[in-house]
């Protein structure tokens, strides 16, 4: 096992470093800068490179030079790892003095700085002189999250080696090898869940796996992972989404359990990632085989894709993206769950309405909308009593049936409001009252002249808007509607 085996998913970086160790033409230089996100392996690569430079076999991983270099005990390898906020000038001067000493084993004097982004300006001046006038057989290895984090005079004199986040499949494969090496049994989906939650950082994945193995009794299962890392695993979100179109109340309960058993941000991020993959599978089916997902998730995408339309998934993705902002603002779990289920009900209800066969009705006119009044004390005007001859069940054209007219306006008079007007109303409601904003998410806004009609899909938001507190707030937002604001929910009126 060579020193390079620990560098997972960084093949191009390893190839460049191997060529430098082998003495390739123009491959070796006196200063290197390893940059990449946390957990990508930049520090491990620097130590592996230092060991390979001291090893006679180019980093075999078995000899004394390799082992002592990796542990920091080699006389010609100096490792600087600080827990302080900065690396000052005194520490840098000591390193420069150490770098000027001839190597004991007559190969290389290697100095590794794991947090080069913490070097102060004066410390960088001391390092700069050593880089401009390098001692023979001295190699500087600097590590930082990005090149921009290092002072420009330093990074301009270094050979850059970029490291990137590691894909979930690469991490899964490495975790599988680790379990085989440690003789620890583990379910594939459990390792996939660890790989997903590591978010491209192999170091974090290994740390999580170690904790889970220590807690697990025997085989590492998905339940062990959820117990250690929290609810909301990808398989749990898959089961919830798969049952969504067939089960209403149970899906709400399951999602609430996931939110309460784990991090709300993690649950919504997993949901967004799964919806994104499902949308890609519906929109471009050939993309599925290129996704960095498990075989179980590919099977789920293939089975679930025919049940959803691209438009439904796009709308749901937008809703989840908007709710992610609310999650980071610390909105309560029950409100987040309610907002998500409200958006889901809109999508699923529209889907059912599109597939439901038309029903025969006696009246072709819609129910009368209720006009909102600012003064709740005003008594409604009683309509004149229906005469006996009017009760004869004779069908009439819609234009002749005055009782079906919504306070003087026919359904044909109402036109859908522009998207800009509705978005503007939602923005104003969000600034004024969050509950008012949530209720308006369920409305379809229509206009006729200077009148506004809000068609509600669900009864609860309809009743909320009829309460005095939010009714007066709505009238303030729609003060430009001179001819009145109307509210309607199916064939019911809220008194």
- pLDDT, tens only, 45-56: 999 999 999 998
For residue 488, give the H/E element and its range. Answer: strand 485-488
- Condensed to tens digits (0 to 9), the pLDDT of residues 177-186 reads 999 888 888 8
pLDDT of 7 higher than 80: yes
Tell me the average pLDDT across 131-143.
Answer: 89
Tell me the average pLDDT across 212-234.
Answer: 83
What confidence score (pLDDT) does residue 355 get? 52
The strand order across the sheet containing 451-456 reads 370-372, 485-488, 451-456, 443-448, 415-416
Residues 6+ away with beta carbon under 8 Å from 163: 10, 13, 34, 35, 36, 37, 40, 41, 42, 45
For residue 444, give the H/E element and its range. Answer: strand 443-448
Nearest of 158, 105, 102, 106 to residue 127 by alpha carbon: 158
Tell me the average pLDDT across 406-421.
Answer: 69
Q: Which pTM does this prediction carry?
A: 0.63
Burial 65-78 (b: 16+ CB within 10 A, else e): bbebbbeeebebbb
Out of 203-212, 248-257, 387-396, which region has the weakest mean confidence (pLDDT)? Answer: 387-396
What confidence score (pLDDT) does residue 376 get? 47
Helices 64-71 and 42-54: angle between axes, nearest 10 degrees: 150
453 vs 379, which has greater pLDDT?
453
Nearest of 116, 125, 126, 112 to residue 76 by alpha carbon: 112
- Under the banding of pLDDT at 50, 70 and 90, the label for residue 412 is low
352 vs 392, which has greater pLDDT?
352
What confidence score (pLDDT) does residue 47 get? 92
What confidence score (pLDDT) does residue 194 get? 92
pLDDT of 378 higher than 80: no
Nearest of 201, 151, 149, 147 to residue 33 by alpha carbon: 147
Tell me the average pLDDT across 300-304.
Answer: 89
Cα–Cα distance measured from residue 449 to residue 99, given in angstroms and rounded to the nearest whole number: 82
DSSP assignments along 28-43, one per residue: --SEEEEE--TTSSHH
Q: Which two tokens stand for residue 170?
A: 């690469």
304 vs 232, which has greater pLDDT?
304
Judged on CB neighbours under 10 Å (0-12, 13-18, 19+), 85 is exposed
pLDDT of 402 higher than 70: no
pLDDT of 199 higher than 50: yes
- Under the banding of pLDDT at 50, 70 and 90, the label for residue 379 is very low
What confidence score (pLDDT) does residue 287 get? 82
pLDDT of 359 higher than 60: no
pLDDT of 401 higher than 70: no
Please provide the average confidence, as pLDDT, over all residues in the chain. 80
Four-point Cα dihedral 251, 254, 259, 265, nearest 10: -50
pLDDT of 369 higher than 90: no
What confidence score (pLDDT) does residue 162 get? 92
For residue 67, give the H/E element and its range. Answer: helix 64-71
Beta strands in 114-188 (DSSP E): 138-144, 159-162
pLDDT of 165 higher than 70: yes
């Amino acid at each position: 096992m060579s020193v390079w085996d620990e560098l997972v998913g960084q093949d191009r970086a390893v190839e460049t470093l191997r060529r430098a160790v082998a003495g390739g033409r123009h491959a070796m230089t006196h200063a290197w800068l390893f940059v990449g996100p946390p957990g990508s392996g930049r520090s491990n690569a620097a130590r592996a490179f230092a060991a390979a430079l001291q090893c006679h076999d180019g980093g075999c991983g078995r000899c004394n030079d390799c082992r002592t270099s990796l542990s920091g005990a080699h006389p010609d390898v100096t490792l600087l790892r600080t827990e302080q906020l900065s690396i000052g000038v005194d520490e840098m001067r000591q390193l420069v003095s150490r770098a000027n000493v001839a190597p004991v084993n007559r190969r290389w004097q290697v100095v590794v700085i794991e947090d080069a982004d913490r070097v102060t300006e004066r410390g960088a001046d001391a390092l700069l002189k050593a880089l401009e006038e390098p001692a023979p057989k001295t190699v500087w290895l600097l590590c930082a999250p990005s090149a921009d984090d290092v002072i420009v005079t330093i990074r301009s004199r270094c050979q850059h080696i970029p490291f990137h986040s590691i894909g979930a499949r690469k991490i899964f494969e490495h975790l599988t090898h680790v379990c085989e090496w440690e003789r620890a049994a583990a379910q594939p989906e459990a390792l996939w869940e660890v790989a997903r939650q590591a978010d491209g950082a192999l170091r974090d994945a290994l740390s999580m796996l170690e904790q889970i193995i220590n807690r697990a009794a025997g085989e590492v299962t998905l339940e062990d992972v959820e117990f250690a890392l929290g609810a909301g695993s990808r398989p749990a979100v898959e089961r919830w989404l798969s049952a969504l179109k067939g089960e209403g109340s149970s899906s709400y309960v399951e999602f609430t359990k996931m939110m309460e058993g784990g991090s709300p941000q993690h649950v919504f991020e997993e949901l967004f990632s799964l919806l994104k993959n499902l949308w890609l599978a519906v929109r471009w089916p050939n993309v599925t085989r290129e996704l960095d997902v498990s075989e179980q998730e590919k099977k789920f995408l293939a089975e679930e894709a025919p049940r959803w339309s691209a438009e439904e998934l796009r709308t749901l993705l937008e809703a989840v993206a908007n709710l992610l902002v609310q999650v980071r603002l610390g909105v309560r779990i029950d409100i987040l769950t309610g907002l998500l289920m409200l958006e889901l009900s809109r999508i699923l209800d529209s889907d059912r309405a599109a597939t439901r066969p038309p029903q025969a009705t006696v009246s072709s006119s819609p129910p009368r909308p209720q006009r909102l009044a600012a003064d709740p004390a005003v008594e409604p005007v009683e309509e004149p009593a229906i005469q006996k001859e009017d009760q004869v069940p004779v069908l009439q054209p819609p234009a002749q049936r005055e009782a079906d007219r919504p306070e003087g306006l026919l359904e044909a008079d109402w036109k859908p409001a522009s998207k800009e007007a509705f978005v503007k109303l939602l923005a104003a409601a969000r600034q004024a009252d969050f509950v008012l904003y949530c209720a308006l998410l369920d409305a379809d806004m229509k206009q006729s002249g200077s009148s506004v009609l809000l068609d509600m899909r669900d009864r609860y938001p309809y009743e909320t808007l009829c309460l005095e507190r939010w009714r007066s707030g709505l009238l303030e937002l729609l003060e430009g509607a001179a001819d009145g604001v109307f509210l309607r929910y199916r064939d019911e009126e809220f008194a």
